Structure 1
Amino acid sequence: MGLLDELESEAQRRKSNDEDASVLKAARETAYRTVLEPAMADLLAYLKELAAKLTELQPKIAIRHSLAGYGDVVAYVEHEFDVREVRQPSSKEITVAFHAAVSSSECPSVQIEGGARVRAVSASFQRHRLGAPLAASKDASGEVVAATFKAKGRIPLTAVFSADAASGQLRLSFSNFDDFATAVKTVAPDQVNEELYDKIGRYLMREPTDLMREVLPENYRSQLRARVHHEEVKRRWESQIVSRQQEDIALLKREYGIGARFNRIGDAMGKLRGLVSRK
């Protein structure tokens, strides 16, 4: 292929890529305008109604998060919900914010020893606004070497639902729901429906739901199954090799023990014959 042909081929490839990108962009914009934009209005109405019902009924909703070095932090949802919407020409975002009050009586009182451990747990308490350490003990240099921790305060919980024409998808973000972290999931337009709203509502109420459980593609699940099978076969072979080695070692010990006994008997007989001949 000559130089001009190579340049023409590259030009056609770039043109094709640009056309594909334009088609994809148009498809995403269409999905946003026709599906996601009206769906966000439905989701907003659902969340406002849910917040009103929860405020009226005041159900007891427990939050239990594990904190490294400390233990479980137990809190209960305060039914004061802030539901807001931010609109842009090509995007919408809904935020649901509320708090859970820490139940100090249900949280452990933990004595932490060692300066490094005290600093680590103290940093976690400060990061999550769970109070300060109690009854700190210091060494001669003034450094804290031991402290008692007991959680208190409020845990902020925030759910953010956003959709835009650029991505053509619904993005879910939940902070401090399953643990002290933020979980994110994207949902395709064809999956945004009343069933999804119901799952979101149950997730916010901490009821069992598969909302944040990812469904793996079949080819990826096949790869995982093959990997698990390979590891299982590998473990079986390793176990057989170790077992055979142990049997061989035991056999060598037995043979060595018998040979050693015969050698000791032979040495004794030789000494006895030597004594008899000298006499």
Structure 2
Amino acid sequence: MGLLDELESEAQRRKSTEEDAAALKAARETAYRTVLEPAMAALFAYLGELVAKLKVLQPKIAIRHALAGYGDLVGYVEHEYELSESRQPSSKEITLTFFAPIASSECPSVQVEGANRVRALSALFQRYRLGAPLAPTKDASGEIVGATFKAKGRIPLTAVFAADAASGQLRMSFSNFDDLATAVKTVAPDRVNEDLYDQIGRYLMRDPTELMREVLPEDYRSQLRARVHQQEVKRRWESQIVARQQQDIEMLKREYGIGARFNKIGDAMGKLRGLMSKKP
């Protein structure tokens, strides 16, 4: 291929790439305008109706999280909700916030000893605003070396739903629902429907739902199964090798043990023959 042909080929490749990018951008913008924008309005209306019913019914919704070094935090949702939305020309975001006051009587009272452990748990309590340690004990230098921890305060819960023309998808984030962290999931436009709204409502109420469980593609599942099989075969071979090595070691111990005993007998016989040869 000549130089001019190479340059022409590169120019065509770049043009094709730019056209693909423009087509993808247009498809995302269309999905936002035709599907996501009205779907976000429907989701906002659904959440408004949901929180209105929850305020009336006041169901007992428990929030439980395990805190490393302490134990389980237990709280119950306070049915005071703040639902808001923000709009931009090419994006929309819905935010729902509420709190779960911690039931201190249902949380453990943990006595911690050692400066390092006290500092670590104090940092966690401070990070999540769970109160200060109680009855601290100090050493001669004034450093806290022991304390009692009893959780109090409120667990903030936040759900954010965002859609924009740039991504053409719905992005959901939930903070402090499944644990003391933020979980994120992206949903394609064709899946934003009444069934999704129902799953979101059940998730917010802590009912069983598949909302935050990802469905893995079949090819990826096949890869995982193959990897698990390979690891299982590897473990079996390693177990067989270890067992064979142990058998060899035991055999060597027996062989060397018998040889050592024969060597001792041989040495004793040699000494006896030597003594007998020295007699007159």
Which interval holds the TM-score relative to the shorter structure? over 0.9
The match for 2:18 is 18
The match for 1:236 is 236
Distance (Å, rounded) in 1 between the aligned partners of 2:123 and 2:231: 39
Alpha-carbon distance, 1:114 to partner: 2.1
Determine helix, strand or coil for the equivalent of 2:101: strand
Alpha-carbon distance, 1:89 to partner: 1.5
Distance (Å, rounded) in 2 between the aligned partners of 1:8 and 1:277: 107
Alpha-carbon distance, 1:272 to partner: 2.3
Q: Deviations over 1:229-271 (max 9, x none)?
A: 1111111111101100110111111111111222222222222
Determine helix, strand or coil for the equivalent of 1:152: coil
- Superposed, 1:1-279 pairs within 5 Å as 1-279=1-279
Determine helix, strand or coil for the equivalent of 1:60: coil
RMSD: 1.2
Q: Deviations over 1:34-77 (max 9, x none)?
A: 11111111111111111011111111110011112211111000
TM-score of the two chains, using structure 1 as the length reference = 0.96
Determine helix, strand or coil for the equivalent of 1:125: helix
Distance (Å, rounded) in 1 between the aligned partners of 2:32 and 2:222: 33
**Which stretch of the first structure deviates more once superposed, 132-141 or 193-202?**
132-141
Distance (Å, rounded) in 1 between the aligned partners of 2:77 and 2:172: 20
Q: Deviations over 1:10-36 (max 9, x none)?
A: 221111111001100111111111111
TM-score of the two chains, using structure 2 as the length reference = 0.96
Distance (Å, rounded) in 2 between the aligned partners of 1:143 and 1:102: 29
Determine helix, strand or coil for the equivalent of 1:185: strand
Distance (Å, rounded) in 2 between the aligned partners of 1:29 and 1:266: 96
Distance (Å, rounded) in 1 between the aligned partners of 2:120 and 2:257: 57
Q: Deviations over 1:137-188 (max 9, x none)?
A: 2222222222211100111100001111111101100001011100000000
Determine helix, strand or coil for the equivalent of 1:160: strand
Alpha-carbon distance, 1:225 to partner: 1.2
Give the fraction of aligned pairs with identical amino acids, expressed as a percent.
Answer: 81
Q: Deviations over 1:59-107 (max 9, x none)?
A: 1110011112211111000011111111211111111110000000011
Distance (Å, rounded) in 2 between the aligned partners of 1:28 and 1:19: 14
Runs of 4+ deviating beyond 6 Å: none
Distance (Å, rounded) in 1 between the aligned partners of 2:168 and 2:53: 31
Distance (Å, rounded) in 1 between the aligned partners of 2:191 and 2:151: 40
Unaligned 5+ residue runs, structure 1? none
Distance (Å, rounded) in 1 between the aligned partners of 2:14 and 2:122: 55
Unaligned 5+ residue runs, structure 2? none
**Which stretch of the first structure deviates more once superposed, 83-92 or 17-26?**
83-92
Distance (Å, rounded) in 2 between the aligned partners of 1:232 and 1:132: 48
**Which stretch of the first structure deviates more once superposed, 134-143 or 26-35?**
134-143
Distance (Å, rounded) in 1 between the aligned partners of 2:114 and 2:95: 41
Alpha-carbon distance, 1:2 to partner: 2.9
How many residue pairs were aligned? 279
Distance (Å, rounded) in 2 between the aligned partners of 1:253 and 1:223: 45
Distance (Å, rounded) in 1 between the aligned partners of 2:45 and 2:187: 19
Q: Deviations over 1:183-230 (max 9, x none)?
A: 000000111111111110110001111110111122221111111111
Alpha-carbon distance, 1:124 to partner: 1.3
**Which stretch of the first structure deviates more once superposed, 154-163 or 210-219?**
210-219
Distance (Å, rounded) in 2 between the aligned partners of 1:222 and 1:34: 36
Distance (Å, rounded) in 2 between the aligned partners of 1:9 and 1:178: 53
Distance (Å, rounded) in 1 between the aligned partners of 2:268 and 2:61: 86
